Structure 1
Amino acid sequence: MRAIVVRNFGATPELADVPVPETGAGMVRVQLEAAGVNPFDQRMATGFLDGKMPHDFPMILGVDGAGIVSAVGPGTSRFAVGDRVVGKFLTSPAGHGSFAEYAVLPETGALARIPDGVPTGAAAALPTAGVTAQDMVDATKIEPGQTVLVIGATGGVGSFLVQLANMAGAHVIATARGDAADQMTRLGAAETVDYTRGPVGAQVAAAHPDGVDVLFDVVSPPETLAELTGLVRDGGTVYSTIGAADEAALRVRGIKGGNIESSGGAPELSRLLRRVAEGDVVVPIAVTVPLAEAASVIGAAGARGKTVLAI
């Protein structure tokens, strides 16, 4: 089968022929039709999980994927051949991911049926970014009327954060280029701060001198996040998805949150899929490219929404 692999950490991703994975006991094999691209894919290719999880090489990249169940192993009961499914294809040993024509997962893993009416490409864009955003909003326990600032609102996680925070009743401030303001409004932002027109902190402080209740930041390095945290009222909440939060400094001010990694599995993914099926959450897909062109989009910056591979 065709797959996007790296031969070693730091190597350039390439299209390769690799064996179709076997379907062992309790396993589900999926014939993938689409895969979602995330910043994590580039981090994985450069060795982020080295020392944290065993790896197999050539390492097939990709975490998010959706398609049709093509085979099930002995003892499998939750899924059947022909089911439309979506999941997170990251298990130990790493290197058997979703940027391939076939991938396998334990039936007990982060795998869920795709509801009728949800396109396969949209489903493939959900698992990492969508569930991360949902986890953040759930952990924050947003109350109606609170002010939520989303830094990096046009990316995958950010675009879901805007929607989910708005659904929770928050007044959402999104950061984006000025020409993306209409998109942010459609997703549920009450305000858009154009980060090209001056420091975000100064712009937000001028408009909200009493501060904000929640800061979700998916892009800022530690020193920038520390400055932006000054916008948050004492007792508020700050979350970083890239490990940039100084949690001890947050606690000094009674600020909740910190660094977050999504732990959501099949139940959380199913819940988010239902929201998409019901029309409450939109999956903003910025671009769809063929599997063979994956190397051109892995690690690319600046996407407004999700990038999906057509397999």
Structure 2
Amino acid sequence: MRAIVVQKFGGTPELADMPVPEPGSGEVQVALDAAGVNPFDLKMADGLLEGKMPTDFPMILGVDGAGTVSAVGPGVQAFAVGDRVVGKFLTAPAGHGSWAQYATLPEDATLVPIPAGITAVTAAALPIAGVTAQDLVDTAGIQPGQSVLIVGATGGVGSFLVQLANLAGAHVIATARGDATDQVARLGATETIDYTRPRPADPDRIESDPAAYRDSSVTDAVHFTHPDGIDILFDLISGPADFARHATLVRRGGHAYSTTWAADEAALRDRDITGGNFESKGRGPELSRLLARVAAGDIVVPIEATVPLEAAPAVLGAGSARGKTVLAI
């Protein structure tokens, strides 16, 4: 079968011919139709799991995948051949991912049925990004009327987070390039901050610190419209310095989350702010809940590009996403 692999951590992703995996006891074999592309995939290739999870090489990349159950191992009860399914194809040992024509997964892993009317391409865009967004909203406990700043609103997680925060009743402030204003507004943002537009409220500071010029467009703009602060910060892209500046916008008693592990959690606690560095723990129930909302028309799955499997090395790690990239297998 065709698959995208790396021969070692830090290796160059390449198209390779790999054996078709057979399902063992309690396992499901899935003939994959589509696979999602996430920043996590590049981190895996570069060695994120080294020393943390046993890994087989050549390592087949990819976590998000959707397709049809093509075989089941002994003892499987939850799925049958012909079922349309979507899930996270990352279990120990790693290296048997979704960027392939076939993959196997334990039936008790994150694997759920795809509702009627949802395509495999749409479903494959959901597991990592959508579930992370759902987990963030659930953890923050958003209340109607609260102000929520989403830094990185046009990416995979951000596109879902804008919608879910809006559905929770929040006043959503989103950062995006100016030409993406309409996109995030359609997803549910009440305000959009163009982070490329400089707003040097303090020209002396900007002149002495050019690196702060772009960041000032976010912090100054939000402070201007919300001088009393915001309730919740979701920062999906920033490093420690920018996250710290964005966190100054959060009022005491609020919440601030970083998905890039940029938060100084002790500094947040000193200001009575909860949250910090966030890692999604969501599995099948959260994914099923998202799929139900997509099927009901409450959530739109923003897909920026659909490319063939062999194009995966070219799109791996590509920046400035406006939605999800999906591999057609």
Give TM class, smaller chain.
Answer: over 0.9
Structure 2's unaligned 5+ residue stretches are 199-215
Identity of aligned residues (%): 70
1:142 alignment partner in structure 2? 142
> For 1:236, what is the secondary structure of its paired residue?
strand
Q: Deviations over 1:188-222 (max 9, x none)?
A: 00010000002211111111111110000110001
2:173 alignment partner in structure 1? 173
| 1:245 partnered with 2:263 | yes
| 1:96 partnered with 2:96 | yes
| 1:117 partnered with 2:135 | no
Distance in 2, matches of 1:249 and 1:195, equals: 25
Q: CA deviation at 1:181?
A: 0.4
- Correspondence list, 1:9-158, <5 A: 9-158=9-158
Structure 1's unaligned 5+ residue stretches are none
> For 1:192, what is the secondary structure of its paired residue?
strand
Q: CA deviation at 1:248?
A: 1.1
Distance in 1, matches of 2:256 and 2:52, equals: 26
Q: Deviations over 1:209-238 (max 9, x none)?
A: 111100001100011101110000011001
Distance in 1, matches of 2:261 and 2:97, equals: 24
Report the residue type matching 2:307 in the other structure.
V
Report the residue type matching 1:266 in the other structure.
G
Which residue, 256, 259, 273 being the options, matches 1:255? 273
TM-score normalised by L of structure 2? 0.94
2:206 alignment partner in structure 1? none
Distance in 1, matches of 2:105 and 2:287, equals: 15
> For 1:287, what is the secondary structure of its paired residue?
strand
User: How big is the alpha-carbon RMSD for the aligned residues of Structure 1 and Structure 2?
Assistant: 0.6
Distance in 2, matches of 1:231 and 1:85, equals: 42
Report the residue type matching 2:259 in the other structure.
T
Report the residue type matching 1:4 in the other structure.
I
Distance in 1, matches of 2:256 and 2:165, equals: 14
Q: Deviations over 1:29-69 (max 9, x none)?
A: 10000000000000000001111111111000000000000
Q: Which runs of 4+ in 1 moved over 6 A?
A: none
TM-score normalised by L of structure 1? 0.99
> For 1:193, what is the secondary structure of its paired residue?
strand
Distance in 2, matches of 1:79 and 1:254, equals: 47
1:269 alignment partner in structure 2? 287
2:225 alignment partner in structure 1? 207
Report the residue type matching 2:249 in the other structure.
L
Report the residue type matching 1:234 in the other structure.
R
1:222 alignment partner in structure 2? 240
Q: CA deviation at 1:261?
A: 1.0
Report which stretch shifted further, 245-254 or 149-158.
Answer: 245-254
Q: CA deviation at 1:100?
A: 0.3
Name the count of aligned residue pairs: 311
